[in-house]
Structure 1
Amino acid sequence: MIGLVLLAVPLAAGLLAPLLAALEGQDPYSFHTDALDPDGGRPLGALGGVSPEHWLGVVPVTGNDLFSQIVYGIRSSLFIAFGASLISIAIAALLGTAMGFFGGWFRSAMGRVIDLMFGFPGLMFVIAIMVLVPPEFPRELLLVLVLAFFGWPVGARIIGAQAAAINARDFLEAARASGAPPWQIIRREMLPHLLSLIVVLFVMSLPANVSAVAGLSFLGVGLRGDVPDLGKLLADSLPWIYSGADVWYMLFPGAVIFCIVLGATLAGDALRDVLDVQMEEHS
């Protein structure tokens, strides 16, 4: 329940970002220089300029409303992470199930491909792609595709090992003896026993992809400069942390990322326990 709450609150904030920003009476793009110290650009007031008009204060120098920046940043990060996780787990489920069912040369060949993917410097390649792809290409779609491409090998190996164990059980041998085609055996016999694992891997991949999106934006190769993003907020807050002028600038977006990652991790562990028990009872 703790994990679900920690995950559901930021998720709801991201989905309802336009409504919450309108409720506050702000948007992520307007400049509020009246809320800044004219000498150094530091937010006026306590907690980084927290006030009834700015619920989490304002961004130093620009005066953008920090609450609006955060909820819109959650929205973009979660949509990218969800899309990347969905595609990567779908690929992992397809290939992992095939590896476990067919075995033989196919499993050996895919194992070598997965080993190659593990040994590949993925972060460097992702950064290179983000830099080299023309800016006209949608950055959100590019991030989804890149993260999905490098995200499937772990899930495929785990699902493949579980599928191989299921493939050796008696009810699979009985299904083969009945003359059922391979796709029917996979769909009716294997996938129901792999469903809990697939769901857990999907949930557990969300925090990794949220962190990846934030990390790439932190390095300056993520979303465009005009798109609110949690990683960019963290990167921009570093000078203010070093100087001690506005520590709240990092605290608020950092706390959101922490809650998403911790919540998804706890929820994934709990979901695995629940689904494992249900699958055992079903078996």
Structure 2
Amino acid sequence: KVYSWGNNRLRQTKLPPDVAKMTNVKQVVAGLQISLIVTEDNKVKIWGNENSFDFRGNSEYQGKIEKIAAASDTLFGLTTQGEIVYLGRQTGYISKSAPTEGNFIDIAASAKSFAGITEDGGVYTWGNRTHRGEGIIPEEILGKPVKITSGRYHYNLLMEDGSVQAFGDNSLNQVKVPSSVTSGVKDVFSGYYQNYAIKDDGKVVTWGHKGYLMGTDEFGRDLWTRLMNGGQMTLTIGAVAVLISTVIGVIVGGVSGYFGGTIDMVLQRISEMISSLPFLPFAMILNALIGNAMNPNQRIYLMMIILGLLSWPNLQRLVRAQVLSVREQEFVVAAKSVGVKEGQIVFRHIIPNVISVIIVTTTLSFAGSMLTESSLSFLGFGVKPPIPTWGNMLHGANNSIIIQAYWWRWVFPSIALSLTVIAVNLIGDGLRDAIDPRSQDR
């Protein structure tokens, strides 16, 4: 008899009247939005979202099916004669990919592929075998398999000698078989990313995915992985923006401070014009004008450039002030007297003498650039998902339900951003104390 529970949005747990009355069911398969059974008279029945699943109920193999294996959108059957048969309607590559030779004793299915074992110990795979490497059968499989089970992207083999061997995707340690199941196993079962072995003494040994360190987001994505990738993206945007602003600020400040006069006046007025632009409103207006004309990668480059182009005025003022105080010193006069070109005097003699101020200011600006990028992404005007940044991770957690019930989705990105900004500011303060000759501690 069959019992069903869980999400019934597509009626996958609503038993058809004839199935509810059955007492001769020998196999149950809970698939993606569908449910299937095999009865003792070797017939297959299905219910749920049948429109998304390729199954032909009036197949000529009805009454001959010993076992079925269902992937995400179709299925194969193992007949009582040991043959692999396709039970779908379509006649594409998948339907013709199954092996036609050998007396099969068991079959299984991952999300995209299928596998089976024969009476003489052969292991075969078919379907979309390149999705996550499920089709790569390792050569070191030893012994004769008597049962095969499957997860989402991996397979387990129970061998005749009581050992377990596995192959397929190992991103979550699904196929990292522990040494305790190299013998004495009488049965094995597999979930999406987990495996369970029953030993002769009744003990259960498990391996595979043991959960997520920081939980998942609304799409089931690992928050730790997204936090690391988001941090990389936030740091990269901040670093490139600071690099652009530093180059512009050093050039403008050096030229303005050294030459003075009309050049200085023009450059300072341009700097004041740039400083007068309100950054966040400017970025929002630009985002509205661009709309969806740019893909996510192009938006990242645009973010770097905008941050860099609007962040240089403060640095150029500091560089200009330092250059004004240095340009009349003896080494500059000596360079002029021997005929050194003015460009070389500025960038090879004066700028190296004010490099301490540039390093300190650049380090402190790095933290500001990260906060600015995170602010824009939090407001929805920065980097767009699915590319993660700490800002847009917080944007996905900006309602009261998530704040109260799913705290890990905003607490961990907030902590990461706060600690990083504090650390960068401390580094900047330390550099200032160490290399700034005007430090109070000197």
Which of the five TM-score ranges fits, normalised by the shorter chain? 0.7 to 0.9
In structure 2, distance between residues paired with 1:187 and 1:85:
19
Post-superposition shift, 1:23? 10
How many matched pairs? 234
**8 Å Cα contact 2:360-2:431 kept in structure 1:** yes
Please tell me whether residue 73 in structure 1 is matched to residue 233 in structure 2: no
The equivalences for 1:246-257 within 5 A come to 246-257=406-417
* Deviation string, structure 1 residues 172-214 (Cα, Å, up to 9, x no partner): 2232233221022123320111211122222111111111111
Partner of 1:206: 366
In structure 2, distance between residues paired with 1:140 and 1:78:
12
TM-score, normalised to structure 2's length?
Answer: 0.50
Post-superposition shift, 1:240? 4.3
Partner of 2:165: none
In structure 1, distance between residues paired with 2:170 and 2:322:
48
**8 Å Cα contact 1:237-1:250 kept in structure 2:** yes
Partner of 1:48: none
Corresponding residue SS for 1:244: helix
Corresponding residue SS for 2:352: helix
> Match of 1:56, as an amino acid?
M
The equivalences for 1:1-283 within 5 A come to 25=172, 52-59=210-217, 61-133=218-290, 134-136=293-295, 138-240=298-400, 244-277=404-437
In structure 2, distance between residues paired with 1:242 and 1:219:
17
In structure 2, distance between residues paired with 1:168 and 1:241:
64
Corresponding residue SS for 2:312: helix
**8 Å Cα contact 2:240-2:304 kept in structure 1:** yes
CA RMSD in angstroms comes to: 2.5
Corresponding residue SS for 2:435: helix
- The structure, 1 or 2, with the larger RCO (C-alpha pairs under 8 Å, 6+ apart) is 1
Corresponding residue SS for 2:321: helix
In structure 1, distance between residues paired with 2:285 and 2:215:
35
Of the structure 1 ranges 203-212 and 135-144, higher mean CA displacement relative to structure 2 is found in 135-144
Post-superposition shift, 1:222? 0.9
- Structure 2 CA distance for partners of 1:139 and 1:71, relative to 1, 3 Å: same
Corresponding residue SS for 1:114: helix
**8 Å Cα contact 1:240-1:246 kept in structure 2:** no
- Structure 2 CA distance for partners of 1:149 and 1:187, relative to 1, 3 Å: closer
In structure 2, distance between residues paired with 1:23 and 1:92:
49
- Structure 2 CA distance for partners of 1:95 and 1:128, relative to 1, 3 Å: same
Which stretches in structure 1 are left out of the alignment for 5+ residues? 1-21, 27-33, 35-50, 279-283
Greater helix proportion: 1
In structure 1, distance between residues paired with 2:252 and 2:436:
22
Greater strand proportion: 2
> Match of 1:53, as an amino acid?
G
Post-superposition shift, 1:147? 0.4
TM-score, normalised to structure 1's length?
Answer: 0.76
- Structure 2 CA distance for partners of 1:125 and 1:243, relative to 1, 3 Å: closer
**8 Å Cα contact 1:240-1:247 kept in structure 2:** no
Post-superposition shift, 1:242? 7.0
Post-superposition shift, 1:55? 0.9
In structure 2, distance between residues paired with 1:196 and 1:71:
31
**8 Å Cα contact 2:402-2:409 kept in structure 1:** no
- Structure 2 CA distance for partners of 1:25 and 1:106, relative to 1, 3 Å: farther
Partner of 1:3: none
**8 Å Cα contact 2:246-2:315 kept in structure 1:** yes
Of the structure 1 ranges 152-161 and 163-172, higher mean CA displacement relative to structure 2 is found in 163-172
In structure 2, distance between residues paired with 1:241 and 1:97:
53
Which stretches in structure 2 are left out of the alignment for 5+ residues? 1-168, 174-191, 193-208
Partner of 1:46: none
* Deviation string, structure 1 residues 147-171 (Cα, Å, up to 9, x no partner): 0111111111111111111113232
In structure 2, distance between residues paired with 1:146 and 1:83:
11
